[in-house]
Amino acid sequence: MTILQPARQVSWLLCLSSLFPFVLGHAAIWHPSMYGFNVTDTTFPYDNRPVAPLYNMPFKQWWFHNHLDYPPHPSDTYQLEPGRPATLEIACNKQSTSYYASSGFGNHQGGDSPCPGSPPKQYHALNISDTKGCALAIAYKSDVRDIAPEDFAVFSINHTCVWHRFTEFQVPAKMPPCPLGGCHCAFFWIHSPDAGNEQMYMNGFKCTVANPVSVAQIAKPRVARRCGADPQNGKPHADPANCTNGAKQPLYWLQKERNNMFEGYYSPPYYNDLYNFKDGAQNDIFEDSNPANTKDNLVPRDGMTFGPVIGTEADAPEAQGRQQNTTPTAVSEFTNADVSPDPVIGVLLGLVIVAVVGLW
């Protein structure tokens, strides 16, 4: 399957807009911790509201929805509570959320509906069994300009997105503390192709981990692979051997730059079993929680020697010390130096390791 030719796409758009005389209902998370909380359709030369879908864009335009210059107030950081659900509002527009007062419109909330007054097809699902899931990811970096797409690790999934306005995301109990200045999180969503044009959604927000009880490090996230049953594309059975286990990056798809997914327009990657994203908390993302996180995904860090790996990182004295130090008092010792090394250095060291192991 290839991407639609521009001419065909225009006719598609015309066809869709005649079916739906109203603006197609796209969706975003809404919270004061988000980047672009007050961005309207006139803030940018184009409609760059948080709900506007991302398609065929250069990196700067899709990354954080091009809202880096519209940060939240520092006091509005979202507090993730380990082991408890984070409930976020997802809606087609701000006036349908608790934050309608700053929308410039009236109060158009409609219970748990993300898009009051619209049929579900307007938020890209024919019915609840046609929802494809959405994700929250976290980067342990307080400087938003320092985050690369490869830094985000998906930590929570909800398979029935976008269906409920109030969507619960379970937060893994082992989420480690954020560096001074907090972390950054982002919401991601890709919907089914049977309900409108394909695109990707991303909204960034400022987050931190409140009352952490663990200092388990999140492993370096890897690119997810297609491995679930996919009857629509001629694969009736799942292929677990093809799955990426452990920490995974979000799905960056259909943009001009920095994609990590190269699926065709009608076979989108999803935040569900198709890419081994289980519903709920992603409890296998920590270095010590999944063999896949250490075996073929060495992230060099202080005190680690290079050479043939015997056992897993969890066997190392350093990791054992870390596991014992899981009382909240250890948390204050956490510093910026504990965040993963620069990805470029990581890649270079990775290549060196591959070369050395190859020679050996």
Ligand X SMILES: *[C@@H]1O[C@H](CO)[C@@H](O)[C@H](O)[C@H]1NC(C)=O
User: Which positions from 30 through 89 interact with ligand X, judged by CB under 6 A?
Assistant: 37-38, 72-73
330 sits in which H/E element? helix 328-331
User: Which positions from 118 through 137 interact with ligand X, judged by CB under 6 A?
Assistant: 126-127, 129-130
Report the nearest approach of ligand X to the CB of residue 91 (Å). Answer: 13
User: Which positions from 170 through 189 interact with ligand X, judged by CB under 6 A?
Assistant: 170
Give the pair of three-digit tokens for residue 76: 């509005």
Report the nearest approach of ligand X to the CB of residue 305 (Å). Answer: 33
Cα distance between residue 340 and residue 349, in whole Å: 13
- What character string, x for contact with ligand X (CB under 6 A) and - otherwise, covers 286-325? ----------------------------------------
Residues 227, 235: contact at Cβ < 8 Å? no
Residue 267 makes contact with ligand X by CB under 6 A: no
Residue 160 makes contact with ligand X by CB under 6 A: yes
Report the nearest approach of ligand X to the CB of residue 102 (Å). Answer: 4
Residue 280 makes contact with ligand X by CB under 6 A: yes
Number of residues located near ligand X, criterion CB under 6 A? 23
Among 226, 268, 294, 319, binds ligand X (CB under 6 A): 226
Which residues lie below 8 Å from residue 107, measured CB to CB, with a gap of 6+? 95, 100, 101
| 14-51 core/surface letters (b: 16 or more CB in 10 A; e: else) | eeeeeeeeeebbbbbbbbbbbbbbebeeeebeeebbbb
Candidates 59-67, 113-121, 157-165, 295-303: pick the segment binding ligand X (CB under 6 A).
Answer: 157-165
Residues 59, 126: contact at Cβ < 8 Å? no
Strand order in 28-30's β-sheet? 28-30, 85-91, 166-170
User: Which positions from 191 through 210 interact with ligand X, judged by CB under 6 A?
Assistant: none
Residues 301, 293: contact at Cβ < 8 Å? no
Dihedral of CA 108/111/112/116: which sign?
negative
What residues line the site for ligand X (CB under 6 A)? 37-38, 72-73, 102, 126-127, 129-130, 158, 160, 164, 166-168, 170, 225-227, 239, 242, 279-280
